[in-house]
Amino acid sequence: MNSASQETTLKAAYEAARDRYALWGVDPEKALAVLRQLSLSLPCWQGDDVVGFEKKPAALGGGILVTGGAPGRARNGDELRRDLSFSLSLLPGTHRVNLHAIYLEVEEAVDRNAVEPRHFDRWVSWAREQKLGLDFNPTYFSHPLASSGLTLSHPDRGIREFWVAHGLACRTVAADLGRRTNSPCVHNTWIPDGYKDAPVDRWEARKRLTESLDLIHAVPADPSWEVDAVESKLFGLGVESATVGSHEYYLGWAVRKSVALCLDMGHYHPTEDVADKLSSILLFVPAVLLHLSRPVRWDSDHVVVQDDAVQRVAEELVRIGSWNRVYLGLDYFDGTLNRVAAWVVGARAVLKSLTAALLQPAEALQTLERTGDPTGKLVLLEELKAAPWQAVWDWHCHTSAVPVGTAWYDEVKEYSRTTLSKRS
């Protein structure tokens, strides 16, 4: 199909969808206006299997495991940035990139407690050229001083002090990234601390963690440049019985310190619904950071797809509507797939979920619920499952000058042939 024929087909489908949505009192143009303002933060670690660029990289640890050996893994910053730039070119909208401290670029080895803003100069230059924001994470795993499975809660004061210094250094980096890209940097703290077998003294471990976090966050962030967040985890490889930084712990700490709480979709019991947590948590913390992931039996960090869990999160976000207090990030690493395609699949899945959610007749649904008509509400919700949101999404991609449908994958295959295949 030539470009003129495609545009005619897409426009006709969009206009038919617009007329259908008008029956429910929904204006797709207003929905797309909101969608265009939303940014996703892509995880840089999907492109290199969480290896990073430290001069003396340690083996993966802290419950993190990347499987698969697909060709084309990025081996340095230039390759990773090239892959990210290409991936971003296939997405409608303006987005962000999430870095870990191990993605510094230095001539000589720099330990974690000595990380400085200048070590990320090349990332800043690239981000400014691309007109995108950067987010940042301390790296409390894959290091000799994290080999016991404990970092900020370690009983050894010297080890704790090392990791506190790392946290302080990373907050300095995050604020600098925000200033230099003119976009607040979300600085998210996650630690692997936990126990393989059931501990008998959780209290002291959590007291030590509190002491460490309080030291790191003694000076509040300037919200113009830095947004602090903390992230819980249910369990991980090697810490199956307990994590020090549980959901309840970080919820309490975030409320006390008035910082953002990160909800990772893979960090809860399988029967817990992250969508259900949003309305409760946003009543008490200043912001929520969402890590959109796809756990399969455990926190396995599979590529996000447009499944029921992601769709429920999207719908809840739309119904709450506090977009200025929500940060959306992807969080996964899969070495079994084409790594560039994995970024695009995940990001498009979230954007499509948001599209479908923004096109729901929220007012009509709320009226049915408030007037005591649960049957009518259910009937409408079921009808919406077959609503023509895909035609609106396709038109959004077309008018954003990015590939429609699966056409983007043809571009990825060509990129793989010309670029990824040449990496050993």
Q: Which residues are identified as catalytic?
A: 190, 231, 233, 264, 267, 291, 299, 301, 331
R_g of the chain, CA atoms, integer Å = 22
- Among 131, 196, 138, which residue's Cα sits nearest to residue 168? 138
Pairing between β-strand 96-100 and β-strand 185-189 as defined by DSSP bridges: unpaired
Contact between 232 and 274 (Cβ < 8 Å): no
Distance in angstroms (rounded) separating the CA atoms of residues 401 and 35: 15
- Among 350, 411, 304, which residue's Cα sits nearest to residue 85? 411
DSSP string, 388-405: -HHHHHHHHHHHTTS--T
Distance in angstroms (rounded) separating the CA atoms of residues 1 and 23: 31
Distance in angstroms (rounded) separating the CA atoms of residues 59 and 300: 18
Distance in angstroms (rounded) separating the CA atoms of residues 257 and 214: 9
Start-to-end CA distance of the chain, whole Å, equals: 37
Distance in angstroms (rounded) separating the CA atoms of residues 384 and 191: 40
Contact between 271 and 251 (Cβ < 8 Å): no
Distance in angstroms (rounded) separating the CA atoms of residues 333 and 80: 14
What are the angstrom distances between the C-alpha of 364 and each of 174, 370, 377? 42, 10, 8
Distance in angstroms (rounded) separating the CA atoms of residues 187 and 289: 10
Structure tokens at 92: 């409608």
Distance in angstroms (rounded) separating the CA atoms of residues 149 and 387: 48
Q: Which residues are 135's β-sheet partners?
A: 98
Structure tokens at 42: 């892509």
Distance in angstroms (rounded) separating the CA atoms of residues 32 and 173: 34
DSSP string, 147-185: TTS-STT-SSHHHHHHHHHHHHHHHHHHHHHHHHHTSPE
Q: Cα dihedral sign for 293, 40, 140, 213?
A: negative
